[in-house]
Structure 1
C-alpha cells in the first residue's frame, strides 16, 4: 500500500498535514484530472482553487449518493451551503452525513466527508472576496443540482435548453467562480473580467457535455440520462429506445449534433484562455490541458458512435502526455494555440452550431 493511500485511509494523519499537502492528497484520491492540472496554477491560486474543487466534490458526493432520498439530498445540500458561507457547524454536518454514505461512494470521498471540517477551515482562511466566490458557486451548484435530482431522468432531459441549465449548475458556475479567482489574483486579467465571465460559462459547458457524452452508458446503469430529447426527436430517434446495443443511424446523428455543440463551447474555452496574459503559463496550462483532453475525447466519441462502455472512448495516457507536450510548446502564442485547436478538432466542426456564451447566459436568465 503506497503512502498516498495510507493518508486517504487515515483521516487523522491526513488532517495533520499542512494545508497545501492536505488538499493535494485529497485531490489525488477524488480527481486524477484536477490533481494533474491544479498544481500548474501560480502558488497564490493553488490553495483557493484546490479548496473550491473539494467543496464542489462534496456537493457531488451528496448528489450521487444512492442511499440518500431526494429529501435527504436537499436537506444536506441546504445545510452545506450554510456551512460554507458561515464556516460554522462543519463537524456536526460531517458526523451526520458520514455514516449514511454507502460502499457505492468512493473510499476517498468517504475520507473527504470525514475531514470536511478541515476543508472548511481552509475555506475561511482565504480572502473575503475568495470566500464569497466559493460560497456563491457552492450555493448555485447545490440548489440547481437538487432541482434536477427530483426529476425523472431515465429517458433524458426534455430540451437542449434544459441541458444548458444543468451544465450551468454543475460546471458553468464553477467556471464563473474560477474567473473571479483569476481576476482577484491579477489586475491585468481583471481588465477582461466581463468577457471572461461570459466565456467561462461556455467553457464549463463544453467540459461537462464532453463528460456527459463519454459517460452515457455509465449513467444509464444508474437509471439516468442527460441527453436532450428534442435533439434526438429532430433526428428521428426516441431516447426511450436507447440501449447499449442500439446501432440506429438516427441516434448517431443526435450524438454527432451534440458533439458539434460541445466543440463550439470548447472554442469559446480557447478564446477564454487566449485572454489570459501570455506570461501566465501556469494559468494557461491549467485551462489548455482540460480543453485539449476534452477535444481528444470528443474525437474518440465521434469515431466510435456505437460505443457502449465509457472505457471505449477514454483517451489514453499517451494522449494525455501528448496534450501536455503540445500545449507547453504553444502556450505563449495565441496564433499557435488557434492552429493546434483547429488541427486537433477539424473533424468535429459542424456548421449548424450557433450558440455563443452571451446567448447561453440570456437563456439561463429567463
Structure 2
C-alpha cells in the first residue's frame, strides 16, 4: 500500500513518479527467463539470487540465455565466499582454509557449509550450496574454468585480508592498498565477467588485453559504495577510506563524523570522489566493447547508478550521518537511459559530471583537480560523440535547428506534456481523496454548514464557549 508520505512526495516530484511509471509500464526485457524449462536446482539457484541481491538479480535475469545461468552461478559462488569472509564468528584457523580452498568445493558433490552464525544474512545459501555445485558442474568447461579461477584469486585475497585483520591492523593505509582491496572485492568480478562475455562472443576480445578497463569497472562501483557507506562502515568498526587521504584533513578518522570538523570532512570526501572519478573514462571505454544488448544493460546500469551516487555524495555532509541513496525515481530514470545505447549513457555521465563540477568550490583543496577530472570526462565523451559537426554548425549560423536539436526539442515538449499530465493526475487523486474524506465526515454527522458560517464571519478559532463547557465537564 502506498504511504501518505509517498503521495505527498510524488505530488511535489511528479517527474520522479513519471520515471517510475515509465520503467514499470514500458520496460521490455531483451530476454526473459524461461522458468518452465528449468530444473529444480536451477530454480533454487535463482531463488537464492533473489534473496541475496535484488538489484543484481533483476539485471542478471534479463541476460542472454547463454550467460543467464553462468553469471547467476558466478554471483552465488562469490556471494558464498563473501558470506564466510564477513562472518566474524568464524575463527581464523577455520576461515582461512575455507576461503583458500573454496574453489575446490565447487567440484565436490553435495558440499555445503553450516558453520555460519544463525543471524548471518546469507547463511542459507551456504547451507544449500549443493544446488550451486550441481549447476556449476553442468556448465560448459570454459565457464567452469573462469568461475573457478576467479574464486581462487578472490578467496586467497580475502584470506590474506582476514589474516591481516586478525594479526595486524586491518585499516587501509595507502591508496595502493585501497586499490588492491577494491580489486580483490570488485575488480576480480569485472575480470571474470569480461572473460565470460568474451567466451560467449558478446564482448570484444580486446577487452581482455586491456585489463585496466575491466578493473576500472569494478573499482568504480566499489569505491562509490565505500564513499556512500562510510558512516555505516564506521559504526561496524570498519574503515576503508585510506589513511593517506583522510590524514590530510583530520588527525583521527573519527573526527570526520564530528560537527566541528565538518568542512575538513567534506574536503576529505571530495578527494575520495576525485579518486573514484579517475576510473570513469575507462568505464565508458569498456562499455563500447560490448556486443550484445542485454550484456550492455547489465554493465551500464550499475555504472550509471554509480556516477549518480557519487554526485549525490559529493560535498554532502549527510554521508557522515547516514547512508545516502539516490531516489527511486532517479534510479528508474537511470535504468531507462542505461538500457538504450552508449551515447545516452555518455550523456548520463556528462550530466552528472557537470553537476559535480557545479557543486565544486574553490575552498576545496582539490578544486582544480576535481574540475580537471570532470573536464576529462566531457573531453572523452566529446571525442567519441562530437556534440557538433560541420553541417550542424552551418545550420546554427543560419539560425536553424539541426535534426538532433529538433528531436531534442520534441522530446522536451513531450516531457512537459507528461509532467502536466502527472500533475493533473496527482491533483485529481488528492481531490478525490479529499471529497471522500469530507463525505465520510458528513455521513457521521459533521456540520460543515456551521463551520463555513463561522469562517465567513471571520472566526478561525474554536468558539470560547466550547472550551468553557469542556472545563465544566
Taking structure 1 as the reference length, the TM-score comes to 0.81
C-alpha deviation, 1:56, in angstroms: 0.3
Pair member with larger Rg: 2
Moved more, 151-160 or 313-322: 151-160
Change (3 A) 1:243 1:150: farther
**Are positions 1:72 and 2:94 aligned together?**
yes
Aligned to 1:58: 80
Between the aligned partners of 1:190 and 1:124, the Cα distance in structure 2 is: 27
C-alpha deviation, 1:64, in angstroms: 0.7
C-alpha deviation, 1:175, in angstroms: 0.3
* Matched position secondary structure for 1:213: helix
Matches within 5 A, 1:28-39: 28-39=50-61
Aligned to 1:120: 133
C-alpha deviation, 1:170, in angstroms: 0.7
Aligned to 2:195: 180
Contact 2:42–2:131 under 8 Å retained in 1:
no
Contact 1:300–1:315 under 8 Å retained in 2:
yes
Q: 1:336 aligns with which of 327, 340, 344?
A: 344
Q: 1:44 aligns with which of 66, 70, 74?
A: 66
Q: 2:310 aligns with which of 292, 298, 306?
A: 298
C-alpha deviation, 1:57, in angstroms: 0.2
Aligned to 1:13: none
Change (3 A) 1:321 1:306: closer
Change (3 A) 1:237 1:52: same
C-alpha deviation, 1:190, in angstroms: 3.8
Between the aligned partners of 1:204 and 1:79, the Cα distance in structure 2 is: 24
Aligned to 2:148: 135
Q: 1:169 aligns with which of 148, 168, 184?
A: 184
Between the aligned partners of 2:306 and 2:162, the Cα distance in structure 1 is: 25
Change (3 A) 1:229 1:303: closer
Taking structure 2 as the reference length, the TM-score comes to 0.64
C-alpha deviation, 1:245, in angstroms: 5.3
Aligned to 1:223: 237
Aligned to 1:197: 211
C-alpha deviation, 1:103, in angstroms: 3.6
Between the aligned partners of 1:32 and 1:244, the Cα distance in structure 2 is: 34
C-alpha deviation, 1:255, in angstroms: 1.2
* Matched position secondary structure for 2:138: coil
Aligned to 1:23: 45
C-alpha deviation, 1:214, in angstroms: 1.6
* Matched position secondary structure for 1:24: helix
Between the aligned partners of 2:218 and 2:178, the Cα distance in structure 1 is: 13
Root-mean-square deviation over aligned CA pairs: 2.5
Change (3 A) 1:240 1:352: farther
Between the aligned partners of 1:245 and 1:172, the Cα distance in structure 2 is: 35
Matches within 5 A, 1:246-261: 247-261=261-275
Instruction: Structure 2: give runs of 5+ residues left out of the alignment.
Output: 1-37, 358-369, 377-473
Between the aligned partners of 2:347 and 2:296, the Cα distance in structure 1 is: 16
1:69-101 Cα deviation digits (max 9, x unpaired): 2222212112312213xx02652xx2xx31x32
1:130-156 Cα deviation digits (max 9, x unpaired): 111101111111111121123348783
Aligned to 1:325: 336
Between the aligned partners of 1:237 and 1:156, the Cα distance in structure 2 is: 15
C-alpha deviation, 1:23, in angstroms: 2.2
C-alpha deviation, 1:198, in angstroms: 2.7
Contact 2:270–2:315 under 8 Å retained in 1:
no
Aligned to 1:364: none
Contact 2:50–2:57 under 8 Å retained in 1:
yes
C-alpha deviation, 1:222, in angstroms: 2.1
Between the aligned partners of 1:42 and 1:284, the Cα distance in structure 2 is: 11
